[in-house]
Amino acid sequence: MIRLAILLVLLASPAAAQSRDWTAEKCSRYGEMWPQALARFGRVGLSEEFLARHEAFIASGCRTRDVCPRSPQEIAMADVMTIAAMNAGTASSFVPFICRD
Protein backbone atom coordinates (compact mmCIF):
# COMPACT_ATOMS: atom_id res chain seq x y z
CA MET A 1 0.00 0.00 0.00
CA ILE A 2 2.84 2.39 0.84
CA ARG A 3 4.55 1.56 -2.45
CA LEU A 4 1.36 2.37 -4.34
CA ALA A 5 1.06 5.73 -2.56
CA ILE A 6 4.68 6.60 -3.35
CA LEU A 7 4.20 5.57 -6.98
CA LEU A 8 1.11 7.76 -7.28
CA VAL A 9 2.96 10.76 -5.82
CA LEU A 10 5.90 10.26 -8.18
CA LEU A 11 3.63 9.92 -11.20
CA ALA A 12 1.53 12.97 -10.30
CA SER A 13 4.42 15.34 -9.61
CA PRO A 14 5.82 15.62 -13.16
CA ALA A 15 2.33 16.14 -14.55
CA ALA A 16 1.68 18.99 -12.14
CA ALA A 17 5.02 20.57 -12.96
CA GLN A 18 4.40 20.11 -16.67
CA SER A 19 0.98 21.76 -16.32
CA ARG A 20 2.54 24.77 -14.58
CA ASP A 21 5.24 24.96 -17.24
CA TRP A 22 2.65 24.83 -20.04
CA THR A 23 0.60 27.57 -18.39
CA ALA A 24 3.71 29.74 -18.15
CA GLU A 25 4.57 28.99 -21.77
CA LYS A 26 1.07 29.88 -22.94
CA CYS A 27 1.22 33.12 -20.98
CA SER A 28 4.63 33.93 -22.43
CA ARG A 29 3.36 33.36 -25.97
CA TYR A 30 0.27 35.43 -25.29
CA GLY A 31 2.31 38.20 -23.69
CA GLU A 32 4.48 38.41 -26.80
CA MET A 33 1.44 38.75 -29.06
CA TRP A 34 -0.14 41.64 -27.15
CA PRO A 35 2.39 44.37 -28.07
CA GLN A 36 2.37 43.11 -31.65
CA ALA A 37 -1.41 43.47 -31.82
CA LEU A 38 -1.25 46.96 -30.31
CA ALA A 39 1.42 47.98 -32.81
CA ARG A 40 -0.59 46.66 -35.72
CA PHE A 41 -4.10 47.79 -34.74
CA GLY A 42 -3.38 50.71 -32.40
CA ARG A 43 -5.04 51.86 -29.20
CA VAL A 44 -7.79 54.01 -30.68
CA GLY A 45 -11.10 52.96 -29.14
CA LEU A 46 -9.46 50.91 -26.38
CA SER A 47 -10.37 52.26 -22.94
CA GLU A 48 -7.88 52.70 -20.14
CA GLU A 49 -9.84 50.10 -18.16
CA PHE A 50 -9.58 47.57 -20.99
CA LEU A 51 -5.83 48.18 -21.37
CA ALA A 52 -5.16 48.13 -17.61
CA ARG A 53 -7.13 44.93 -17.02
CA HIS A 54 -5.42 43.26 -19.95
CA GLU A 55 -1.99 44.25 -18.64
CA ALA A 56 -3.01 42.92 -15.21
CA PHE A 57 -3.95 39.60 -16.84
CA ILE A 58 -0.48 39.24 -18.32
CA ALA A 59 1.22 40.44 -15.12
CA SER A 60 -0.71 37.83 -13.10
CA GLY A 61 0.78 35.02 -15.16
CA CYS A 62 -2.44 34.92 -17.18
CA ARG A 63 -4.51 33.86 -14.18
CA THR A 64 -7.00 36.73 -13.81
CA ARG A 65 -9.73 36.70 -16.40
CA ASP A 66 -11.79 39.84 -16.13
CA VAL A 67 -11.27 41.93 -19.27
CA CYS A 68 -14.63 43.05 -20.64
CA PRO A 69 -14.49 44.37 -24.20
CA ARG A 70 -17.23 46.95 -24.68
CA SER A 71 -16.44 49.20 -27.64
CA PRO A 72 -16.36 47.88 -31.20
CA GLN A 73 -12.56 48.30 -31.19
CA GLU A 74 -12.22 46.37 -27.92
CA ILE A 75 -14.39 43.57 -29.27
CA ALA A 76 -12.28 43.48 -32.45
CA MET A 77 -9.07 43.38 -30.38
CA ALA A 78 -10.49 40.57 -28.22
CA ASP A 79 -11.29 38.64 -31.42
CA VAL A 80 -7.77 39.25 -32.76
CA MET A 81 -6.17 38.10 -29.50
CA THR A 82 -8.40 35.03 -29.28
CA ILE A 83 -7.44 33.93 -32.78
CA ALA A 84 -3.76 34.72 -32.16
CA ALA A 85 -3.84 32.74 -28.91
CA MET A 86 -5.40 29.76 -30.65
CA ASN A 87 -2.80 29.97 -33.43
CA ALA A 88 -0.11 29.91 -30.72
CA GLY A 89 -1.46 26.63 -29.37
CA THR A 90 -3.66 27.81 -26.51
CA ALA A 91 -7.37 27.14 -26.17
CA SER A 92 -9.85 29.93 -26.81
CA SER A 93 -10.82 29.62 -23.14
CA PHE A 94 -7.31 30.81 -22.17
CA VAL A 95 -7.94 34.45 -23.07
CA PRO A 96 -9.11 36.91 -20.38
CA PHE A 97 -12.20 38.24 -22.12
CA ILE A 98 -15.41 37.97 -20.14
CA CYS A 99 -18.21 40.37 -19.24
CA ARG A 100 -19.90 39.53 -15.99
CA ASP A 101 -22.51 42.28 -16.07
Range of 46's domain? 22-94
**Number of domains, the chain:** 1
Alpha helices per DSSP H over the chain: 2-41, 48-59, 72-87
Residue 88 lies in a domain: yes
The answer to whether residue 30 sits within a structural domain is: yes
Is there a domain that residue 3 lies in? no
Residue 45 forms part of a structural domain? yes
User: Count of alpha carbons within 13 Å of 60, Cβ hemisphere only?
Assistant: 14
Model confidence pLDDT, tens digit, residues 14-59: 544 555 688 899 999 999 999 999 999 999 999 999 999 999 999 9
Question: pTM for this structure?
Answer: 0.78
In a domain, 10, yes or no: no
**Is residue 4 a part of any domain in this protein?**
no
Is residue 71 situated within a structural domain?
yes
Residue 48, in any domain of the structure: yes
